[in-house]
Amino acid sequence: MTLKRFAIELGYAADLHGEDMTKAAVRAVRDAVSRICLCGIVEICGRDQFQGVHVHADVAVPDPDGVDRDRVLACIPIGETTLTLSRGGMSVPGIEVPCFAPGVSNIVVACAALTVSIETDMGEDADGSKKTACGCAAKAI
């Protein structure tokens, strides 16, 4: 089995009043999910479902250790999912709103990149062309 990248989508989001790394990361992943359409997996690759789909999320936040990995992964609605957290994003001065988070005033921004890959099985057709499960063919040289 070989994994081939099918799509990459980016997402950005913030937690404005709580410095909650998980909330910002979840929102960034949801932002990316909300803008990606994977109809090609079904229509071009000839699959009846999203079998053989893998979704990897790279998420950058100021404090990666403060992220609940399971909550972020739960936002990805299809495929086998993996997550890499790294230090990044942004933290900028905001305003303290005590009823939301007493003593907290920074705005936390998260950046996410979702990479959707599909499993392909490589084989050769009678004419020597390489075929994949995606129905694509490349002539052997």
Q: What is the pLDDT of residue 127?
A: 58
Q: Quick check: helix, strand or coil at residue 30?
A: helix
pLDDT tens per residue, range 10-52: 999 999 999 999 999 999 999 999 999 888 888 887 777 788 8
Q: Which residues contact 49 (CB under 8 A, 6 or more apart)?
A: 42
Instruction: Return all residues near 90 (Cβ < 8 A) that are at least 6 apart.
Output: 62, 107, 108, 109
Q: Is residue 18 part of a domain?
A: yes
What pTM does this model have? 0.83
pLDDT per position as a tens digit, 56-65: 999 999 999 9
* Phi-psi label, residue 23: left if phi above 0, alpha if psi -120 to 50, beta otherwise: alpha
How high does pLDDT run on average in the chain? 87
- For residue 28, the surrounding DSSP H or E stretch is helix 21-34
Question: Is residue 8 within 8 Å of residue 114, measured between CB atoms?
Answer: yes
Domain around 58: 2-120
* CB-CB neighbours of 13 under 10 Å: 20
Within 13 Å, how many C-alpha atoms sit on residue 66's CB side?
A: 16
Report the number of distinct structural domains present in the chain.
Answer: 1
CATH number at 112 reads 3.30.1330.20
131, part of any domain: no
Cα 64 → chain centroid: 16
128 is a domain residue:
no
pLDDT at residue number 118:
92
pLDDT tens profile 94-136: 999 999 889 999 999 999 999 999 988 754 555 555 554 444 4
**Which strand (E) or helix (H) includes residue 24?**
helix 21-34
